[in-house]
Structure 1
Amino acid sequence: MDVTADGCSVEVYLLLPPAGEPEIVHAAIPPGASILELGSGPGRVTHPLLELGHEVVAVDDSPAMLAHVQTETVCARIADLDLGRTFDAVLLGSHLINTAQDTDRDAVLAAARRHLAPSGRLIVEWHPPEWFDTVASGQGGLIGEVAVELADVVRDGDLLSATARYSARGRHWRQEFTCRRFALGTALTSADLSFDGWLTDDRTWFAARAGRRG
């Protein structure tokens, strides 16, 4: 069973369907906009975006994940990425911005910034600060046929650690993770980015633009 460096099971991610993410991204950018997707996994969001008419380059550090992606792929760590070209949109989903270490988040945002066209838009999914106050063990639900449940939630200042438990087709998987609450404005400014609006009512998706606004 293939498992990525951060503990993701390729098998379970192949079973997870998109949950509205492609539509959120599509509505936030121009028709046909080119997209650099950071942390694509096996193409759960990539493939619907292709069907919606976008050119997508998918980036992941797992060859096992990228083996399932049906578009141009790049196997690399996000922080190290430098393709020498820019895109109409850069997508940073799956709460990857909530890294446990501030330096890792800064590196991810810097990578997104250097691939963003001057008029482009960065599209981000994150855990907003209020999520850290309300999340609890036992929360979960169904994503397609996959049952998801959080367990072992532990808070330590701005850090939150937990285990995501997945089950489907008589199989069970688990993935431990740690994420950090942070000040959005400060993080964006440090990466020469500026906030450009919320994309969902629950504020779990937002957009940013290149450069700082006065």
Structure 2
Amino acid sequence: MRTTRTTRDGHSGTGPGAITPDGCAVELYERLLVGDEPDVIASRTPEGGSILELGCGVGRVTHPLVARGFAVTAVDESAEMLERVRGARTVHASIEHLELDERFDLVLLSSFLVNTGDEEVRAGLLATCGRHVADGGVILIQREAEGFYDDLPRESPMRGTGTIRIASEEIAPGLRANQVDYIFDDAQWTQFFRTRHLPDAAFEQVLAEAGLALVGYLTPNHAWAEAAALVPAED
């Protein structure tokens, strides 16, 4: 059954099955294959360490991390997504309002969430990272790399099977409206959402505004960044 759900301002989704508040389709994310995310995360987490995964979805990244022996607390605002997560502690909550009375060796903010079009939400996401990282711990952030919006619209194959089409337009200075189509032989999903691209200097500035500091970029395209809290956590 194909559904259409209009959620937040500028965010919606269409396609079979449940659609989350930010326009993501649960059944779609069950089909998507994991990339190098677990390798990047494992390289910065102590053996058997604790990970707070913010925006875990159906567990595409969670499950490989659990399999490697990490203690994962997986957070998502979608109950339908969390139902698919196995082997991890799950927390049903919005990321920007999360208040857990504990701290973690690594806090993970992936899926380009830092590039949200809502600056207030972005500040809340980063504040949550700072509240929950242990003293001396690591914050990992996945962000849009430079050139992310070059050569649009574009179409490319997805890992495994299917095709992804991306289109985007700037609707205000720095604010973009995006459409992504996920096309399979037996189904199709479309997601509409808004983002703000953050070049390196702007990204480092928003980190500083949130009380965080860039430690370094972990990949040549700067899509993965390591940050740390400027002020040590207080118990």
Shorter-chain TM-score tier: over 0.9
Dislocated runs of 4+, deviation >3 Å: none
Partner of 1:192: 211
**CA distance in 1 between partners of 2:78 and 2:119 (Å):** 23
Q: TM-score, normalised by structure 1?
A: 0.94
- Aligned equivalent of 2:130, options 99, 113, 125: 113
SS in 2 for 1:42: coil
Q: Is the 8 A contact 1:28 1:199 kept in 2?
A: no
Counterparts of 1:31 and 1:146, CA distance in 2: 35
Which range is displaced more, 100-109 or 26-35?
A: 26-35
Q: Give the 5 Å matches for 1:1-214.
A: 1-70=17-86, 71-132=88-149, 134-151=150-167, 153-156=168-171, 157-182=173-198, 183-211=202-230
Aligned length: 210
| Structure-2 separation of matches of 1:33 and 1:146 | 35
**Matched residue SS, 2:208:** helix
Deviations 1:7-30 (A, max 9, x none): 100000000110111111111222
SS in 1 for 2:81: helix
Gaps of 5+ in 1: none
Residue pair 1:40, 1:46 contacting (<8 A) in 2 also: yes
Show structure 2 runs of 5+ residues with no match. 1-16
Q: Is the CA contact 1:79–1:108 (under 8 Å) kept in the aligned structure 2?
A: yes
Deviation per residue, 1:72-117 (Å, 9 max, x gap): 1000000110011000000000000001121111010001110000
AA at the equivalent of 2:170: R
Q: Counterpart of 1:185 in 2: which secondary structure?
A: helix
Q: CA deviation at 1:135?
A: 4.8
Q: CA RMSD in A?
A: 1.3
Equivalent position amino acid for 1:192 in 2: G
How far does residue 168 in structure 1 lie from its aligned partner after superposition? Answer: 2.1
Cα deviation digits, residues 14-69 of structure 1 (max 9, x gap):
00110111111111222222100000000000000011111100000000000010
